[in-house]
Structure 1
Amino acid sequence: MILSGDALTKRVSALGFFVLFPGFILYHTLVAMGMIPALLGGLFGVVSVMLFVVYCALLSSQLHVLLSATRGYALLTFAFFAYVLLWALVNFGLVGGGIMRAALIQTIETLVLWLVLFIMGYRVPLDSPRLARAFWLAFALIAGYLLFHVATTGQWMFFARRMVEEGGENVSTYQGYARSALVLLVFLIAISERAVVRAGLIVLGAFVMFVLGARSELYAFLALTLVLLLLWAGMSVKYMLTLLAVIAALIALVVSQFEALAGSRQLQVLDLSGTSSWLARQNLGQRASEQILANPLLGRFGGHIRSPEITGGYAHSMISAWVNYGLLGFVLYLGLTVSAFVGATYRLLFVGARDARWVFAFSINFVCLLLIVLAKPVFWPLPALGWGAFANALVTSRQRQSSDATQQAGPAGTRRGAPGQHDAARDSQGCNDNESGTSDLRPSAL
């Protein structure tokens, strides 16, 4: 069987989507347990480079539809990628040196991840039953293992690196685990249709995110689920009851386990002033703000790098884009996520879209927008998945509109002037409708 470029891109995207997110958690846990060797290093970077090569070979088969059916959104995305690359090359060419070289490499690594996640989000088949089954199975394994961990150890935090005596650098930090778990949960919520299933996902998902230990992802997930339940509750009494049940379940869990949870890093948000990571981030943010004020138009490319070996000194928010890529880069970076979020919100609220693609596009762009405002630097690659998800939903909607218009017009050979023929063709189409339903390549300093 010979696959078309489009079909091959969909299959590669489905496989990559599974490997980079639920597969990432399974892989690193097995490495930490000593059950498999770290053949793929940290996995995310190595697999992303492999996907980058494949996507570059297949990109020509995607460009026509992608550029024509997204109302310029995809073109703006590619223009942003080109701008960032050109900006990095020009700055390196003008200044040179070890720090500029490190900044250039970091930018190229980020661009690889952006392109991979953008194309993946655009072509991942969200309506694939096989992909859904794989994600459900992975979620069951992950949640079951974490429940076992808490029950047997009494610890409400899971750090895979602590399971390894030697070679711990090959096991992901909690940030990598939380990133993958967040996307896994967003996908399952988007493709689920029953209120009770979504309620169970939210409660169990909150437990998973809590145990994995990343505060940003945990509270972004809780904020997303609250917004979704409020949105659905306004349309259905069933979801109103679901919202109340979820809130009651979470409150009961926290109250019953408050003593065990009181010392956890997740509840440190109640008093961040005493935490070292928060103070460090405040200092980095202040430094970035000073660099922007010193040069508000151009920023300071590589200004977060103190030495070629230490590249994690960026502000943990969207202003890191302003520092590194200037005002225009900041506007494009933020604008892509804002426009995707606003577009998906409009579809959900005013058009009444209930398709999994629009729910996923809204959800992933909501959490990305929230996190780049509050906690994540420009080198965090997940926003590109949101850009691709929005393009996916746009293209699918445009194709369905074209299909509907074709069905209403009748077969190509029908004469519009012949009485009764148009109605007969329309009825026939109705009866036979077959419309198918950081830079992460290296660890951060924080």
Structure 2
Amino acid sequence: MNATVQEGYPRPLAEAKGREAPLGFVDILLWSTLVFSTLGFCVYHYSLLNGIIPPILGGYAAAASVLVLPIVLPIYLHRASTKPEFLTIADLLFAMFTVMVVIVALISRSNPGLEDVANFQLSIVPQFVAWFALFRCVRLGATPLRIPSVIAFGLMTIILLIRPSLYLASVSDIATMFRDDVADYQAYAFVYLVMFIYILGIVGRSPLRYFIYAAGLVALFVNGARSELIAAPLVIVTFEIFFAVRFPAILATVIIGGLLSFGPVFNLLANLFPENRFISLLTNVGSDQSYSERSYFFERALSVISESPFWGNYGAYPLGEYAHNIVSVWVDFGLIGFLLFAFILFLGLANSLKAYRENRDLHLSAMLAATALCMVMLSITAKYWTYQMFPILLALQARLIYWRNSAKGRIS
């Protein structure tokens, strides 16, 4: 192994035989960009809700991607141009999927009734590219960044616990939710989940991870985004599989303890948080409006696919009324788009399993496995294909593939 270790780490930091590469200006810049995209989102909306600043950046996500792209994209392109082996099949898959989205949306936006859907999807592309390039290049395990990253995660948690409701504007109809000047609990839950996975990849086997587990679960519960709350235990189990010394015993204890305490704990939470969205879904699924609407959207998507199984029917739904699962890809991009999306998810799981069996690249591999499991679960149960964990999944896949193929085992 090369004496300098930088990206991914072939073993936990405490066990690495080689010295860690020094932190450079580009590393600090990329890390700052990650914090700007996550903690910055929370600080911005907290300031808005408290009347400290006007909505100068709209809903933040789109504006942040425009500000981030000129930083992360040139770094990514420079590394790709100077090191041909830097590019992997995952980079190619990301480019293929992104180009497909742009071409189909541009062609479709000229058709009456499809402008809103096409424009929304085109607005997602810069955000896709920004997240991909950022996670393709940002340092994932630098020791000097550990404490600052924990502080950033802690601040995000505190902000969420203080102001769990992050609606910038009142949402009276579904179309309003897709204005750029509106941010909701789901957008917050996404950036929080991203930082949750990132910080766990940094701390690795440190006992600090148990505090992060607890903080993440509490924050996402208070937030009310049910999909991310369900994804969080998947992330926790994944990291324990990779890092726990006695994982089977720990997992058995957690499962048994969870089963024994579920009833009393759930009753307590139901009394303390009667309006919580997660509690409302568990207590009365049939009357949950979100669940009923999503079931209807899914049935309509299946009807569209049955009528045109190969081509689908791009934008065959009012804005926002898409199937909240992987079927949405089939509706918009036909069978080919669906198979491409599904293959990317499968590749993420396969690379994670291979890395686990080889017992190497633990920090990077654990992050990839957690992201892949989240994407698979959420794509099957809850999320539109525009969910921005997707480009992060591809970026982490590309990093792991490059790490394996690189003769030096590092990125300078």
Quickly name the TM-score band, shorter chain normalised: 0.7 to 0.9
| Identity value in percent | 20
**Structure 1 residue 276: Cα displacement:** 0.6
Q: 2:94 aligns with which of 41, 56, 77?
A: 77
Q: Which amino acid is 1:101 matched to?
A: E
**Structure 1 residue 185: Cα displacement:** 1.1
Query: What are structure 1's unaligned runs of at least 5 residues?
Result: 1-6, 150-156, 306-310, 405-434, 438-446
C-alpha distance in 2 between matches for 1:178 and 1:19 = 16
Residues 31 and 37 of structure 1 are in contact (CA less than 8 Å); yes or no, is this contact kept in structure 2?
yes
Counterpart of 2:385?
378
1:160 alignment partner, SS class: coil
Q: 1:249 to 1:109 in 2, by over 3 A?
A: farther
Question: Equivalent residues in 2 for 1:37-436 (5 A)?
Answer: 37-64=54-81, 68-69=85-86, 71-92=88-109, 96-146=110-160, 149=162, 158-161=164-167, 170=181, 172-194=183-205, 196-230=207-241, 232=243, 235-236=246-247, 239=250, 243=254, 247=258, 251=262, 254=266, 256-261=268-273, 263-270=275-282, 271-305=284-318, 311-348=319-356, 350-399=357-406, 402-403=407-408
Query: What are structure 2's unaligned runs of at least 5 residues?
Result: 1-23, 171-176
TM-score normalised by length of structure 1: 0.75
TM-score normalised by length of structure 2: 0.81
Q: 1:232 to 1:202 in 2, by over 3 A?
A: same
Paired positions, count: 379
**Structure 1 residue 53: Cα displacement:** 4.0
Residues 232 and 240 of structure 1 are in contact (CA less than 8 Å); yes or no, is this contact kept in structure 2?
no
Q: 1:258 to 1:272 in 2, by over 3 A?
A: closer
CA RMSD of superposed structures (Å): 3.2
Q: 1:353 to 1:137 in 2, by over 3 A?
A: same
C-alpha distance in 2 between matches for 1:381 and 1:339 = 17
Q: 1:242 to 1:162 in 2, by over 3 A?
A: farther
Residues 164 and 222 of structure 2 are in contact (CA less than 8 Å); yes or no, is this contact kept in structure 1?
yes
User: Higher RCO, 1 or 2 (CA under 8 Å, sep at least 6)?
Assistant: 2
Q: Which is further off, 25-34 or 53-62?
A: 53-62
- C-alpha deviations, 1:149-169, integer Å up to 9, x for none? 4xxxxxxx82133899xxx98
**Structure 1 residue 264: Cα displacement:** 2.5
1:161 alignment partner, SS class: coil
Q: 1:326 to 1:17 in 2, by over 3 A?
A: same
User: Where does structure 1 differ by over 6 angstroms across 4 or more consecutive aligned residues?
Assistant: none
**Structure 1 residue 280: Cα displacement:** 0.6
- C-alpha deviations, 1:117-158, integer Å up to 9, x for none? 1111111111234543333112222334555x4xxxxxxx82
Residues 32 and 171 of structure 1 are in contact (CA less than 8 Å); yes or no, is this contact kept in structure 2?
no
Residues 230 and 243 of structure 1 are in contact (CA less than 8 Å); yes or no, is this contact kept in structure 2?
no
Quick check: which has more Rg, 1 or 2? 1
C-alpha distance in 2 between matches for 1:195 and 1:11 = 23
C-alpha distance in 2 between matches for 1:261 and 1:66 = 53
